[in-house]
Amino acid sequence: MGDLATALGMLADPTLVVAVLASAVYGLFIGAIPGLSATLATALLVPFVFFLDPLPAIAAVITMSAMAIFAGDLPSALVRMPGTPASAAYTEDAYLQTRSGHGSRALGVALLGSVIGGIVGAVVLMVAAPLLAEFALLFTSYEYFWVAVLGLAASVIISEGSQVKGAISLLIGLLLSTVGIDIALGYARFTFGSVDLLQGISFIPAMIGLFGLSEVLRAALRPSGPVEVVRLRTQGMFRETVRTLRRYWRGMVSGNAIGSVIGALPGAGGDIAAWVSYAATKRASKEGHLFGKGEGHVEPIVSAGSANNAALASAYVPMLVFGIPGDTITAILLGVLLVKGVQPGPELFNSDAPMLYGVYLIFIIANLLLVPLGYLAIRGSAWLLRVPPSVLMPVIVAFCVVGSFSINNGYLEIIIMLVLGVLGYLLERSGFPLAPVVLGLVLGPIVEKNFMQSVIKTNWDLTQFLTRPISALLLVVTVVVLLYPLLRRLVRTLRSG
């Protein structure tokens, strides 16, 4: 209990409180703007949290992302545009509900569903993370090599669209991660004579480019015309919302379960969780034929709307236990923590319990804070949506530029941001997912370091990677994950044949 008290004391830090409140407002704002994702919000928040201690930095990112994922539902319901990709699955239903006069119920359900989903995801984190950490304490460099490889393999298999393209995205990230001094000999790789590149591709400017600048480019290419905002009546909203949630409690349970599992998989975040949950609810519901048509339906908002927030929290399970991020937001956060010298892993669970309790508490606090702030955002949503993109986009570009510069007070970081911004846009336009690029960039050095350490330690005895019990288990899991698409196809052919 002493650790819990210490954690509470750490949370009373004024800097942390200010960081949490400011990032909450920021998250609601960015999340509510169509086309600006929670990942972009994280990338742009990083230059600020970079100057904070680890716990306030994590607190700011957790609070901001919980707010942003809920706020993404606002423009879904009001102007039929998802505020973040995590809301895209049920945008049609939310909008049709609003058009037929049930807008406040739809948003109320989205709000309370998000809060419950976030808290359930946090409970999953609190239960699963320490158990897995106990197991992970047995790991040596061999096992960490396999866990990182497993994370990379999973990110390819569950990437959206074609898996070949997912693999290429991952390889591009891995290649970028090899720029700079190498671990075995200190040899300068791919620096082309630049002294500044010896330290490698700076991670934070790379993220700001991939997710910040590239999203602005996409929005600039396809300007959205003036939007017509549907008016809402919020009287009696919470009473009706609670009644709806009780009626569709099954959807709530399945949404939370699906979200928690998918969030914990490396590379899959809230948007995939929402799509899977939507599909599962549609299959299970008696009223599934009404989804996305006519007046729309509130049930998918209950399930998918909570699934995306549950995924957000459970993505921290692999991130804290193995140092393998569960989604793009935790990938960025992990990059920041590594730069700050905090190495997440099982030791964290023994040596720094107050910090972990702090993280758990932040999840609960952030989601409770979402109730009043989310309600205010619903009331003020019409105003939020009237910010003209012609002003907002340049402001974001300005923050991309100055944010990248501030990491190292150098112009190379701005160039990295610019190049990766254009690359990110081109990749996504050609159907390549961006999440594996980030995972490759973060996990590349971990894979290489653990491999080289292992082989140099044993004078190139590669059998160690296969014969140690946990290594062998992880190897089998990796192979199964890689073969999963083939297995699934085989089962389908057998069934239909």
Partner 1 sequence: MTTEPAPAPSGVPWRHDLVSGLLTAALGAAVVLHVRTFPELPDGQPGPALFPGIVGGLLVLFGLVLVVRAVLARGEPAADPDAGVTARGWLRALAVLGLVVGYLLLAETLGFLLTMGVLLFLLMWTLGARPLIAVLAAAVTTGFIFVVFEELLLVPLPEGLLG
**Residue 329 sits in the site that holds partner 1 (CB under 8 A):** no
Interface map 8-37 toward partner 1 (x if CB under 8 A): ------------------------------
Count of residues engaged in binding partner 1, rule: CB under 8 A:
62
Instruction: From 104-112, 376-384, 414-422, 478-486, give the range in contact with partner 1 by CB under 8 A.
Output: 414-422
Q: How far is the CB of 427 from partner 1 (least distance, A)?
A: 9
Instruction: From 351-359, 368-376, 382-390, 465-473, give the range in contact with partner 1 by CB under 8 A.
Output: 382-390
Q: Give me the amino acid identity at 482.
A: L
Q: Is 172 exposed, middle or buried (0-12, 13-18, 19+ CB in 10 A)?
A: middle
Q: Taking CB under 8 A as the criterion, which residues in 428-447 touch partner 1?
A: 429-432, 444, 447
Cβ atoms within 10 Å of 194's Cβ, excluding its own: 12
94 in Cβ contact with 296 (< 8 Å):
yes
**β-strands 188-189, 180-181: how paired?**
antiparallel
Cβ atoms within 10 Å of 395's Cβ, excluding its own: 11
Token duo for residue 465: 């990677």
Q: What is 278-336 written as a DSSP string?
A: HHHHHHH-TTGGGTTSTT--SHHHHHHHHHHHHHHHHTHHHHHHHS--SSHHHHHHHHH
Closest residue by Cα to residue 303 from 257, 237, 335, 340: 257
Q: Taking CB under 8 A as the criterion, which residues in 127-186 touch partner 1?
A: 161-162, 164-165, 167-168, 171-172, 174-175, 178, 182, 184-185
Q: How far is the CB of 113 from partner 1 (least distance, A)?
A: 29
Please give the biggest Cα pair distance in the chain.
Answer: 72
> Which letter does DSSP use for residue 227 in this model?
P
- Identify which of residues 81 and 301 has a Cβ nearer to partner 1 in the complex: 81
SS3 110: helix
Q: Taking CB under 8 A as the criterion, which residues in 102-121 touch partner 1?
A: none
- Identify which of residues 261 and 452 has a Cβ nearer to partner 1 in the complex: 452
**Residue 417 sits in the site that holds partner 1 (CB under 8 A):** yes
**Residue 397 sits in the site that holds partner 1 (CB under 8 A):** yes
**Residue 413 sits in the site that holds partner 1 (CB under 8 A):** no
Residue 409, φ and ψ in degrees, nearest 5: 50, 45
Q: What is 137-164 written as a DSSP string?
A: TT--HHHHHHHHHHHHHHHHHTSSS-HH
Q: How far is the CB of 126 from partner 1 (least distance, A)?
A: 33
Single out the residue of 365, 418, 470, 475 in contact with partner 1 (rule: CB under 8 A): 418
**Residue 283 sits in the site that holds partner 1 (CB under 8 A):** no
**Residue 390 sits in the site that holds partner 1 (CB under 8 A):** yes
Q: How far is the CB of 446 from partner 1 (least distance, A)?
A: 12
Q: How far is the CB of 171 from partner 1 (least distance, A)?
A: 5
Q: What kind and span of H or E run contains 113?
A: helix 103-136
367 in Cβ contact with 66 (< 8 Å):
yes
Interface map 203-222 toward partner 1 (x if CB under 8 A): ----------x--xx--xxx
Single out the residue of 349, 399, 439, 465 in contact with partner 1 (rule: CB under 8 A): 399
Q: Give me the amino acid identity at 192.
A: F
Token duo for residue 76: 């879904």
- Identify which of residues 107 and 176 has a Cβ nearer to partner 1 in the complex: 176
Q: How far is the CB of 388 from partner 1 (least distance, A)?
A: 6
Cβ atoms within 10 Å of 160's Cβ, excluding its own: 18
What angle separates helix 328-339 from helix 54-71, to the nearest 10 degrees?
160
Single out the residue of 18, 198, 253, 398 in contact with partner 1 (rule: CB under 8 A): 398
Instruction: From 106-114, 275-283, 358-366, 450-458, give the range in contact with partner 1 by CB under 8 A.
Output: 450-458
Q: How far is the CB of 120 from partner 1 (least distance, A)?
A: 33
**Residue 485 sits in the site that holds partner 1 (CB under 8 A):** no
Token duo for residue 426: 């081109």
Q: What is the Cα–Cα distance from 435 to 173, expressed in whole angstroms?
A: 10
- Identify which of residues 112 and 455 has a Cβ nearer to partner 1 in the complex: 455
Cα-based torsion angle of the residue sequence 198, 199, 200, 204 in order, rounded to the nearest 10 degrees? -150
Cβ atoms within 10 Å of 260's Cβ, excluding its own: 25
Token duo for residue 428: 């996504």
**Residue 492 sits in the site that holds partner 1 (CB under 8 A):** no
Q: How far is the CB of 369 from partner 1 (least distance, A)?
A: 23
Under the rule (CB under 8 A), what is the footprint of partner 1? 47-48, 51, 161-162, 164-165, 167-168, 171-172, 174-175, 178, 182, 184-185, 187, 189-190, 213, 216-217, 220-223, 388-391, 393-395, 397-402, 405-406, 409, 411, 414-415, 417-418, 421-422, 429-432, 444, 447-448, 451-452, 455-456, 460
